[in-house]
A and B are shown apart, each in its own frame.
Chain A
Amino acid sequence: MDKIQQNLLKEVAGLHEVPEGAYSLRINGKLHGKNSSENIEIVQKTDKPGIDIYVKAGTKKESLHIPVILSQTGLRELVYNDFHIGEDCDVTIVAGCGIHNGGSETSEHSGVHAFYLAKNARVKYVEKHYGQGDGNGKNIMNPTTYVELEEGAYLEMETAQIKGVDSTKRTTKAILGAKSTLIVSEKIMTHGEQFAETEFEVELNGEGAGTHVVSRSVARDKSRQRFVSRIKGNAECSGHTECDAIILDDATVAAVPEILAVHPDASLIHEAAIGKIAGEQLIKLMTLGLTEKEAEEEIINGFLR
């Protein structure tokens, strides 16, 4: 790994070197290395790019790292990763994609992730997207996520895209069984002329299923964002979707929440708020000695933390 690649790895996965335990590291369109552990097996797909991950039933307190690094300009790839999580597991998965585009061609990584969580499995999934580069080439990431939760399963997804991705379209579709839970917490910041679109579709099919889909975003300069979330309650269930956005400069944000209850005991809520930073927040921090600019940064950093 060279310096640029090491830096990207640090940004997206908080790693300084190849991690211990189970991992799969993909660099510039090729599998750079992988390691299975006793309980987590990583198998390279043969029919298309990507991996299958099998986590043995009952695996607890283990983690899996699957970062992707692109430092070669003009590379475009589409990768399929499938996660098969056994019953009663409790694992953390750290994914993420970092692009360094120093050239003038477009670099693109599109990952298609599918999660199959068996009964009572618990997964925390953390994903960070990051772009950098001094060329004029665009960095594009279009992740697609498909989630199936069996009875009592719990998936918490934390996704962040804070810097340097010119265009992104994130699509997440989830189907929830009885007493299963899906928590999504999304953080996005766009600047320049970037465009980010996220679309969530959650079907609550089992009795007692629940979901929270929460997006916090900041749009600066002339960037644009669009947040779409659809929650459908097909059983006695609870669903909540929230979009909270700060706009600065000439940025635009659209929030399109949709909730549909097709069962009398479905309880669904949507909230959406878009606006600039509240004047009183700026004033408060200025009375502590911060300049207006410093106050703005402090408020945004807190908001996206």
Chain B
Amino acid sequence: MLELKNISYRVGEKEILKNVSLVIDDRFVAITGPNGSGKSTLAKIIAGIVEPTEGQILFDGVDITNLSITERAKMGISFAFQQPVRFKGITVKDLISLAAGKNTNISEACNYLSEVGLCAKDYINREVDGSLSGGELKRIEIAMINARGTKLSVFDEPEAGIDLWSFNNLIKVFEKMYERTKGTILIISHQERILNIADKIIVVAGGEVVEYDDCKKVFPKLIDVQSGCRYTKNM
């Protein structure tokens, strides 16, 4: 269980997040909201990449506010970057092995890659560098989180750059991940098909949580074709 208590984050005079409090305990939770609303910052605060100006974070009842990225990762928090990082000389297999925390054998690594729609034999020894496309990198990023299999997996717009053909597979990946970890999957997304399968939806706008409820209650408000999204139409 993840609990955020009165989290604020300011850069100079600008308030990126304002007093955010949340308890996240469901299987599948989606965060949505307009660009620049503070969603990615929130995810980075959970992973320990950004330090909040105020507030407290509890993970399974333990105060992790002052713990490093590494310590949080070891406790069971994973984070998939919106823009995956490139490395010179480090291969896909290296990253999968590091994610799994052991020297993964070829067949294990292949399973993780196949699940995200990559033909393992074409990718396993490729360097995670500029030779891979944005979509390929995104899939590898997801495969890494899958290999970690932690209690909390945070994804920052995993669908961005992934073609529609593989969209159903992406949702299957999340479902399988849940079956294996029985943990929480927290996804920042603008995609209605992802929002639609979430147990709960959090709407962030202007640095605040403006809605947090069951999918079936929040979703219709977001997808109101006549009037546009009520949270974003005035922004």
Q: Which residues of A contact B (CB under 8 A)?
A: 216, 244, 278, 280-281, 283-292, 298-299, 301-305
New contact pairs (13) apart from A298-B90, A301-B89, A302-B91, CB-CB < 8 Å: A216-B89, A244-B88, A281-B85, A283-B49, A286-B73, A287-B69, A287-B73, A288-B99, A288-B148, A289-B70, A291-B70, A302-B90, A304-B89
Query: Which among B12-20, B74-82, B107-115, B199-207 touches the partner chain?
Result: B74-82
Let me know if A283 and B87 touch, CB within 8 A: no
Q: What is the CA–CA distance of A186 and B73 in the complex, to the nearest angstrom?
A: 36
Bound-state Cα–Cα, A285 to B87, Å:
11
Whether A287 pairs with B47 at a CB distance below 8 angstroms is yes
Pair B70/A286 contact, Cβ less than 8 Å: yes
> Does B170 make an interface contact (CB < 8 A)?
no
Residues of A within 8 A of B77 (CB): 287
B interface, how many residues as a size bin? 20 to 34
Q: How far is the CB of A57 from chain B (nearest CB, A)?
A: 35
Task: Name the residue on B nearest A289 (C-beta).
Answer: B73
Q: Is B144 an interface residue (CB 8 A)?
A: yes
- How far, in whole Å, are A269 and B212 apart by their CA atoms in the complex? 55
Which chain A residues border B78 with CB–CB below 8 Å?
287
Q: CA A285 – CA B85 in complex, angstroms?
A: 10
Is the C-beta of B68 less than 8 angstroms from some C-beta in chain A?
A: yes
Interface presence of B98 (CB below 8 A): yes
**In the complex, what's the smallest C-beta–C-beta distance from B27 to chain A, in angstroms?**
22
For B85, what are the chain A residues with a Cβ–Cβ distance below 8 Å? 278, 280-281, 283-284
Q: Does B101 contact A (CB under 8 A)?
A: yes
Shortest beta-carbon distance, B2 to chain A, in Å?
16
In the A-B complex, the 3 residue pairs with the smallest Cβ-Cβ separation, listed nearest first, are A302-B89, A302-B90, A286-B69
Contact of A303 with B98 at beta-carbon distance under 8 Å, contacts A286-B73, A287-B47 already known: no
